[in-house]
Amino acid sequence: QTALMGGSRKMHFDGIDDNVDCGTASIRTAAMTYSAWIKHDGTTGQALSHAITNFRVNFAFDSAVLAVSSLSGSSSNTQHVSGAVVASTWNHYCRVIADPTDGTNAGNKFYINGSLQSGGSGQAVHGTNKLMFGTNTDGSEDFNGLIDDISIYSAAFSLAEVQELYNDGIPLDAT
């Protein structure tokens, strides 16, 4: 696996106007894994939003519910997870995209703290070619919380690899 991008510096977002705009990040491979440690405050906001033509991935919080969506072509896959999401606590979130170019969402998986999550399907929307942290790609839904160790890999990680990412360490709470 190749880390297409990664960073291990903790970022703090105030939920008002803080974000990281990575610009037109055309990161797209036959398979991808998104990984991040996130500590949210329990309010609505998007921690990660990556949109490319006919493809989108979001880590969006709505109070204590996390909606993780991916869209490929006209097929969307949104998972709403509430039981495993705890505000004000560091959690590891990992979205595995089997193949964003195949026009389906077959094989896409989502993990919290190394555990596979179940979920349903819903409608996701296309966006502009952007990669953003702390907000949606259109600048809406500002995130309030901390994000650490964000990585995007050019491979669909297995359960064992996701668990290895999770077990490699929980970010220290220096606040």
pTM above 0.85, yes or no: no
**pLDDT by residue, tens only, the chain of 175 residues:** 445 555 557 888 888 888 888 877 656 666 788 898 989 888 888 888 877 666 677 788 876 667 666 555 555 566 667 666 778 888 898 888 776 555 555 567 888 899 888 754 433 344 456 788 888 888 888 999 999 988 888 888 889 899 999 988 644 343 3
Q: Find all residues with CB under 8 Å of 63, minimum gap 6, and list them.
A: 42, 43, 44
Q: Can you read off the two tokens belonging to residue 66?
A: 């996390």
Within the chain, how many helices (H) and strands (E) appear?
1, 13
> Beta partners for 119?
none
What single DSSP character describes residue 142? -
